[in-house]
Amino acid sequence: MKAMVWLVILAALAGLVWGLARWRQRWLERQEAAEARLASFIAQAMPSPPPPVAVAAAAPVAPQERLLIDAAAKAGEAGEPALSIQLYAKLLARYPHTQFAAQARAAVEAQKKKLAQA
């Protein structure tokens, strides 16, 4: 008879533990759902950000671009138009949309004139 009483007590405790675990799991699920609803509500209530302005912002200059443009300019000043043209071509090939593109193209034309005169 004692074994039966202990068995009933253990079963009751197991049922109580199972019920508490189940209650806690449901409570956590409700909390997560409430947080999701709150986040959704806040997202809907916030005004939408303005569309990005299409401004051609200057891209940051890579150190290699600066080095190539400086080296090409110095080669042109030193009387080496062929080397200068090669360096400008390398700059334009590697970085076609650089902010130095117009400057490089103009310098190439000037160096070609120098090369043709020589």
DSSP output for 51-92: PPP---PPPPPPHHHHHHHHHHHHHHHTT-HHHHHHHHHHHH
pLDDT in tens, 67-112: 889 999 999 899 888 999 999 999 999 988 888 889 899 999 988 8
Identify whether 33 is part of a domain: yes
Identify whether 55 is part of a domain: no
pTM above 0.75, yes or no: no
pLDDT in tens, 19-40: 999 999 999 999 999 999 999 9
Which burial class, exposed, middle or buried, applies to 51 when counting CB atoms under 10 A from its CB (0-12, 13-18, 19+)? Answer: exposed
Do you know the residue count of the chain? 118
Confidence of residue 58 (pLDDT cuts 50, 70, 90): low
What residues make up the domain containing 72? 63-117
Total domains, the chain: 2
